[in-house]
A and B are shown apart, each in its own frame.
Chain A
């Protein structure tokens, strides 16, 4: 059973507008969440993370929101830029259990000119 779900395989956004990528999880014991960005033929690179004790974390153009009651998190990118076109993976971990990091299937973001 998939513990981390990214239900949108792809998303297209106009350059300069806001991109919102969504992620749901089923394991209420997850206490740390991460977003990664991946270009073709490269390894994923870390973008931003959030601990379950927070509901928002911001880093430049990237903001992650966490809604624990809904078991939902989202990544906001504003303004969207052409270099943001990539696959974005949501990931989660139980840091006090086994440090295993579970990834979603990814969402491909296309930034349109």
Chain B
């Protein structure tokens, strides 16, 4: 079974703090994604990466950065957390469709609260 593991289920951080959300997948997938889920807004793509050290902005990259130094790990960084970044954060991974991949597999999510 594909496993995508997010380092924390729940986090509470203070405004202005630098926050790291970690995600690890064990299936050698090329693609990795970070989404946030908010009520009434669905899943919105923040950043994705199709290879080590490669990243692409999604629909809402402002206030976030990412790091992919190893294939299995994709980190989301909130440089200076703000209350409007309180959300459920979801990491996902998938194979490249060109190599037979189709669906993305998600981690369990990290509920981040910024106070």
Q: Which residues of A contact B (CB under 8 A)?
A: 6, 9, 32, 34, 36, 41-46, 49, 89, 91, 93, 95-96, 98-106
Q: Are B42 and A43 in contact (CB under 8 A)?
A: no
Q: Within the complex, what minimum Cβ distance (angstroms) separates A84 from chain B?
A: 19
Q: Are B45 and A99 in contact (CB under 8 A)?
A: no
Q: Are B90 and A44 in contact (CB under 8 A)?
A: yes
Q: Are A32 and B97 in contact (CB under 8 A)?
A: yes
Q: Enumerate chain A residues within 8 angstroms of B92, measured Cβ to Cβ.
A: 43, 101
Q: Enumerate chain A residues within 8 angstroms of B105, measured Cβ to Cβ.
A: 46
Q: Within the complex, what minimum Cβ distance (angstroms) separates B68 from chain A?
A: 14
Q: Are B48 and A100 in contact (CB under 8 A)?
A: yes
Partner of B43, one of A42, A49, A89, A99: A89
Q: Write the chain A residue with the least CB distance to B110.
A: A43
